[in-house]
Structure formats: C-alpha cells, structure tokens
Amino acid sequence: MLGTVFLQSANFVDAAYILAFILLIYGMTGLTGPRTAVRGNQIAAVGMAIAVIATLLRNGEFHGSGTVWLILLGVAIGTAIGVPAARNVKMTAMPQMVALFNGVGGGAVALIAWVEFRHHFGGDWPLRSEVFELFGAIVGSISFWGSNIAFGKLQEILPGRPIKLPGQSLINLVLLLVTVASAIAIAAGTHSQALFILGILVAAAILGNMVVLPIGGADMPVVISLLNAFTGLSAAATGVALGNSVMIVAGMIVGASGTILTNLMAKAMNRSVPAIVAGGFGGAVAAPVGGAGSEGGTVRSTSAQDVAIQLSFARLVVIAPGYGMAVAQAQHAVRELERALEAKGVEVKYAIHPVAGRMPGHMNVLLAEADVPYDLLKEMDDINPEFSRTDVTLVIGANDVTNPAAKNEPGSPIYGMPILEVDKSSAVVVLKRSMASGFAGIDNPLFYDPKTSLLFGDAKASVSEITAEVQAL
C-alpha cells in the first residue's frame, strides 16, 4: 500500500521526469559520433519510456476504468501503424517518413490543445496556461497540415513544383491575423470560446496548407526541418500549459535542433529561411541559365570501358553521389566499384554535399546502408581542397550540388550556393540518365566543360558495367 502511494506521489513522478530528461539529453550527446549514436538513441528511448510510465503512475487511480482501455487503444493503434512503417520504409523515402512522423506529432499537440480548451471553457483557467496552449494549438495545427503537404510533395502524390494562388502572401497574412485575433479573443475571455478555438484550428490548418503548397520540392527538406522545430516548440508550450517539466525540456531540445538544422540547410543552399518560406523556387527559373548553358557547346559522351581505364590508372578517385544514385538503387553497385578500384590500389573517397539527397545527411545514410564505411565519406569543406589533386571525379546522379554556375554566374538562381568543386579535378565523369536538369530545374555548365565526359544510362547498370571492366583489366 505504502509503495503504491509513493509511486503516485508528485515527488516520485518529478524525480522520474528529471531522470527521463537527463537520459534524453545524454542520449542526444551520443549522437555526436557514429560510434556512440546507436546507444545514444536507445538511451533517449529509455528516457522516453520512463517519462511515459511515470505519467501513467501519476494518473494512478484512473478515474473510471475506461481510461486504461482508451490509453491502451490509442497506444495499440499507434504501434500498429508506427512499427511497420518504421521497419519497412526505404532509406530513400526517409524525408517523407520524417515529415509524416512530424505531422502526427503536431496533430497530437493540436488535439490535446482542443481537449484542454473544452475542459476549461468558462472556467478559471490561468491565463498563462491558456496562452501557451493557444500557441500549441496554432503551431501544432500548422505543423500537422504543413507536414502532410510536404509528405505529399516528396511522395509525389502532389506535384513538386510550387503551387501558388494569386495574392497568396496576402491570404496567408489574413489567415495569420485571423488566427492571432481569435487567440487574443479567447485569452481576453470571450463568451464563444468553443467557436473561436475551432476557428483557430481551422485557420491554422489552412495556413499550414497554404504556406507549404507554394514551396518547391527542392526546398522541402528545409520546410520539414522547420516544421520539426515548430512541433518541438509547440510540445514545449503544451508542457508549460500542463506544468510538465519533461515535456518542456524535450520540446525545447527539438526546437533547438530543428532551428540549427534549418539554418545549416538554408546556408548550404545559400537561401534564407524567409525566402524559402515565401516559396516559388524551383521549376520556373530554368530559362535564362539554359541559354547560357547551350552556348557552352556540346557534351562529350563516353563508354563504360573508357571510364574503367580512366579510373584504374588514377591515383585518387572521388565519387560525388547525388539523389539520382539512390533513385537508381545504385549504392551497392557503387560500393562494389569502390572495392574493385581499391583492389587495384586506387584511393577512393566520397564527396558528400550537406544537402546531397533529400535532407541533410541523407546521402550518408544511403551509403551506410550499402556498407560504405563512414570514414570514406568526406564532408564538403574537407574534400574541396582535395579536388585539385584528384585524377577523376565520378559524379553519380548529382547535379545542382556540382554546378559551377553557383560560383561563376551571378545571374544563376543558385549563385552563391556552396558546391562540391568537382570542376577542379583533372577529369570529370558524369553518370546521367538523360540531359534533363536537376531537382531545382537549373542547367549545369559542368556538363559542357571540355574535361567532362558523360556516360548516359541507368546509374546502376552503368556502374556495374564499369566495375566489370575494371575487374577485367
């Protein structure tokens, strides 16, 4: 009996919460290195489990036995959906998965806020809880709908190009004003709170849709990261409203990490976050640069055999992979090629642009899946000085991140974006399916460079062919 009382006491729960957020933070510090990361993630998961169990214990008496079953029902549904999704998702589809998981988190925040308001209508709810819960309702709802649109775009259910209405910014502004005004009306204690809270949720939902729809597919990872930060902040706000310390800490960690990642990504693409959110980038800007590219002359195509000879007699080969490689499922073939070259005494390194793939670090995951050791993966700042002593750079399915226009053509939409300086190496071989432009819809002068040769065809087939030729030499 005494034990039960102790387990349900506020002190015990608070202590468990402190333990939980220590584990969450400690787990996150594990993520600073690939060696400790697996354990770090598991430690964070244990922290989360402790927080959940402590909360259930605090609930203790469970007014009405139905509660237990309802909680179990929710957890069962969540597990039944979440576990298979996490198990089966392809690594290439990771950005969509993160968007989806982020969206449901935001949705949970919004729903919780809604229920909180229903409880406290006309009651004596402290203003501070109200204000924070309103913040949660608005941001959670934006995050839910915005993430779903982002998912739709990445999954190609929705067109990736920007969808824009005339007067879009004005509409967004009006929606934002409606949301904030309703929030103020509620906080000021209007009599039709029930109506206003629904109004807020709906307006924020439309806003979430409207903000993400005009953003082009190439910018989607930044949006997901931003929405991730939003969901974190809204979870922290819910924590303040409910007076729950572990929610505050966990939410703020996510808020901080999302903010850092958003800024890093925006910097790697040389775009400002507000400009990205304003939308319209990608798909509509190819025309002027296309003209500049075509005057550069013709492209030189090559054969797998020639590439194999070129590679085999090189001292240093750098592979610059892009999302196209992952789409062609060529990672394993690339790994085989790397081994074949290493067997011939050629040094092979991978050049990873911070936004290679569809989210930061995505390429690392895709290559790790193909058993490429992470010490061969070089970050942009480390590999760029090495290109001048690189004999052959093999560009596989990457385009925009190798585009020298980002350095040389002030008129280019990607001008100023940091790139992999592959054009500095002695020779460049680009594996491409066709002459179509990259994800951002911009022409690439690299292809017209005299020292560049192109090998057309499916990346996986081409790489396997090169490997076979290398082994035969």
Partner 1 sequence: MDRLVTDLAVLVLAGFVGYTVISKVPNTLHTPLMSGTNAIHGIVVLGGLLLMSQSNGILEKVLLVIAVAFGTINVIGGFLVTDRMLGMFKAKDPPKAADVDAKDES
Residues 293-332 within binding reach of partner 1 (CB under 8 A): none
382 is catalytic: no
Q: Which stretch binds partner 1 (CB under 8 A): 1-9, 244-252, 313-321, 443-451?
A: 244-252
Q: Kindly identify the residues of this chain, within the stretch 76-135, that bind partner 1 according to CB under 8 A.
A: 77-79, 81-83, 85-87, 89, 91, 94, 97-98, 101-102, 104-105, 107-109, 111-112, 114-116, 118-119, 128
**Rounded to whole angstroms, how far apart are CA atoms 445 and 424?**
13
Q: Which residue has the tokens 């989210």?
A: 359
Q: Which stretch binds partner 1 (CB under 8 A): 149-157, 371-379, 404-412, 430-438?
A: 371-379
User: Which alpha helices (H) appear in 243-330, and where do they start and end?
Assistant: 245-268, 273-278, 286-295, 304-312, 323-327
For the record, the structure tokens of 240 come out as 């303040």
**Any residues with CB less than 8 A from the CB of 234 and at least 6 apart, and which?**
106, 109, 135, 136, 139, 140, 143, 251
The dihedral over CA atoms of 210, 109, 255, 96, expressed in degrees to the nearest 10, equals -60
Helices (H) and strands (E) in the chain, counts: 19, 6
List, as one string, the DSSP characters of 64-113. STHHHHHHHHHHHHHHHHHHHHHHH--GGGHHHHHHHHHHHHHHHHHHHH
Residue 455 phi/psi, 5-degree rounding, is -115, 110
Q: Tell me whether residue 136 or residue 214 sits nearer to partner 1 (CB atom).
A: 136
Closest distance to partner 1 from the beta carbon of 314 (Å): 21
Sheet containing strand 347-352, edge to edge, reads 377-379, 347-352, 316-321, 392-396, 427-432, 452-456
**Rounded to whole angstroms, how far apart are CA atoms 105 and 305?**
51
**Contact with partner 1 (CB under 8 A) among 139, 149, 246, 427:** 246
Exposure on the CB side of residue 137, measured as CA atoms within 13 A: 26
Q: Tell me whether residue 207 or residue 370 sits nearer to partner 1 (CB atom).
A: 370
**Contact with partner 1 (CB under 8 A) among 4, 29, 169, 272:** 29
Q: Tell me whether residue 193 or residue 364 sits nearer to partner 1 (CB atom).
A: 364
Q: Kindly identify the residues of this chain, within the stretch 373-392, that bind partner 1 according to CB under 8 A.
A: 373-377, 379
Say if CB 354 and CB 430 are below 8 A apart.
no
Q: Which stretch binds partner 1 (CB under 8 A): 181-189, 202-210, 226-234, 294-302?
A: 226-234
Closest distance to partner 1 from the beta carbon of 366 (Å): 9
- C-alpha distances (whole Å) from 149 to each of 254, 259, 371 are 21, 20, 33
Q: Kindly identify the residues of this chain, within the stretch 419-448, that bind partner 1 according to CB under 8 A.
A: none
Closest distance to partner 1 from the beta carbon of 321 (Å): 14
**Contact with partner 1 (CB under 8 A) among 56, 171, 185, 292:** 56
Q: Which stretch binds partner 1 (CB under 8 A): 187-195, 257-265, 292-300, 435-443?
A: 257-265
Q: Which stretch binds partner 1 (CB under 8 A): 69-77, 151-159, 192-200, 449-457?
A: 69-77
Q: Which of 306, 381, 391, 400 is catalytic?
A: 400
Closest distance to partner 1 from the beta carbon of 130 (Å): 12
**Contact with partner 1 (CB under 8 A) among 258, 293, 324, 445:** 258
Report how far Cα 367 is from the mean position of its chain's Cα atoms. 17
Catalytic residues: 400
